[in-house]
Every structure is written in C-alpha cells, then in structure tokens.
C-alpha cells in the first residue's frame, strides 16, 4: 500500500513537471543554468595551465575560482530580490566575465573567471529555489529528481561539445563558446513581458531551510 502511494506521488510529480508550464520552465532553467558551469568546473585546471603559469601555481588560480563560488552562495539572500530582468543581467554579466577571463590568456583573467563562477553559483541557487517555489503538488521529490536528471544529461552534452571545440580551437575558446547559452537564456528572460519587477523567488520560498543552499563544486 505504501509502495502504491509512493508510486502515485511519483506519477503526479512527473505530470506536474510536464504539464505545469511554470514548473516546466523552472526545471529547464535549473538544468540550463547549472549544467554548463558545472561541467566547466572540471576544465578550469586546463584553462589555468594554458595561461602559462607553473604547475605549482595552478592550484592557486583554482582557489580563486573556488572562493568566487563560495561568495556566490553567500549572496543568495540578496539575489532573492532579483526580478526576471535582474536575473537576466546576472546571467549575461557572468557570461561576459567568463568569456573575457578565458580569452585574455593571462593569470589575471582568472579574476574574471572567479567573478563569473560567483554569478553562476548564485544563479544556480536561485534557479533551484525558484523551482521549489513553483512546485505545488505532492511530487516535490520527483520534480526535483527530474530537474537533476535534466542537469546530468545536459552536463554530458556540454562535455561532448567542450571536447570538440577544445580539440579544434583550444580551452580558452571552448570556455568562451560555453558562455553563449547563458547569453541566450538571459535574452529569453529579458524579453518576457510583465512580472520582471517581481522577485524571481517569491518571499518565503526559502523558509524550508535547504532551498537556498549553494550547490557543491564537482571538483
């Protein structure tokens, strides 16, 4: 009986993810925002090495990026007040910082990469909280799992695309190309009519305590 009840909740969760437009958009946002930089996190050592620094210096550059991620997570309460357009600006600014920092070809560029990862960490946390705020049915765990699966599948696609671009044009160019999806998502959010002055995450959405937690680094 308990198994049947759990199966029913799972089915309703999948149905909500597919049939509820706000939930579906939130699921796609979680996957689109979290997957790209989550995959790039694996390649930051290669990007650091391409700046020409000694191998012993590479961990220091990676530390800068890690600090950026930590700061992004800590800024989540501030980011909660962002409207749709504010969130779009966050994504676009992070994308430009990512591309610029990668293409500069100098260790100092990792300052911009850290800024980008800070913004994208914040954007991911806000996307997760937005999804939780949109779910109204009993299948919250199932919808969250669907978003996680979408993120994992997108990460695999990013790995494949990164490998192709990096092989042809190098790691800096691959990082710059990876920033393009964020510009597209930002553009889509910016042109949406009405409601962009409202907070992206409704007030009280984080009351559960675990909805504004930073996503852990894969490194």
- The answer to whether residue 143 is domain-embedded is yes
Residue 216 pLDDT greater than 80, yes or no: no
Residue 181's pLDDT is what? 95
Q: Rounded to whole angstroms, how far apart are CA atoms 152 and 164?
A: 19
- The answer to whether residue 196 is domain-embedded is no
Q: Rounded to whole angstroms, how far apart are CA atoms 49 and 120?
A: 22
CATH, residue 167: 1.20.1250.20
- The answer to whether residue 179 is domain-embedded is yes
Least confident of 39-53, 92-106, 137-151, 164-178: 137-151
Query: Over the stretch 151-193, which tens digit does the pLDDT of each residue have?
Result: 999 999 999 999 999 999 999 999 999 999 999 999 998 886 5
- The answer to whether residue 216 is domain-embedded is no
The rounded percent of the chain whose pLDDT value lies above 70 is 78
Tell me the residue range of the domain where 98 lies. 2-190
Higher pLDDT among residues 199 and 171, named by residue: 171
Q: How many domains does the chain have?
A: 1
- The answer to whether residue 11 is domain-embedded is yes
Residue 24's pLDDT is what? 84
Residue 92 pLDDT greater than 70, yes or no: yes
Higher pLDDT among residues 95 and 8, named by residue: 95
In this structure, are residues 98 and 112 in contact, taking their beta carbons and an 8 Å threshold? yes
- The answer to whether residue 102 is domain-embedded is yes
- The answer to whether residue 78 is domain-embedded is yes
Location of structure tokens 């680094």? 217
- The answer to whether residue 140 is domain-embedded is yes
For the question of whether the overall pTM of this predicted structure is more than 0.85, the answer is no
Q: Rounded to whole angstroms, how far apart are CA atoms 217 and 219?
A: 5
């Amino acid at each position: 009986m308990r198994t049947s009840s759990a199966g029913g909740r799972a089915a309703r969760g999948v149905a909500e993810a597919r049939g509820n437009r706000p939930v579906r958009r939130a699921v796609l946002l979680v996957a689109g925002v979290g997957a790209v930089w989550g995959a790039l996190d694996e390649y930051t050592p290669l990007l650091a090495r391409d700046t020409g620094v000694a191998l012993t210096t590479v961990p220091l550059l990676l530390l800068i990026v890690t600090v950026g991620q930590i700061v992004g997570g800590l800024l989540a309460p501030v980011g909660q007040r962002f409207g749709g357009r504010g969130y779009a600006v966050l994504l676009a600014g992070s994308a430009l910082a990512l591309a610029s920092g990668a293409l500069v070809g100098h260790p100092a560029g990792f300052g911009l990469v850290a800024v980008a990862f800070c913004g994208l960490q914040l954007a991911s946390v806000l996307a997760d909280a937005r999804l939780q705020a949109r779910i109204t049915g009993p299948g919250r765990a199932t919808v969250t799992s669907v978003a996680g699966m979408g993120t994992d599948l997108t990460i695999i696609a990013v790995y494949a695309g990164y490998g192709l671009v990096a092989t042809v044009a190098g790691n800096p160019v691959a990082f710059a190309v990876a920033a393009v999806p964020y510009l597209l998502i930002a553009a889509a959010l910016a042109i949406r009519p009405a409601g962009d002055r409202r907070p992206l995450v409704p007030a009280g959405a984080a009351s559960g305590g675990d909805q504004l937690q930073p996503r852990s680094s894969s490194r």
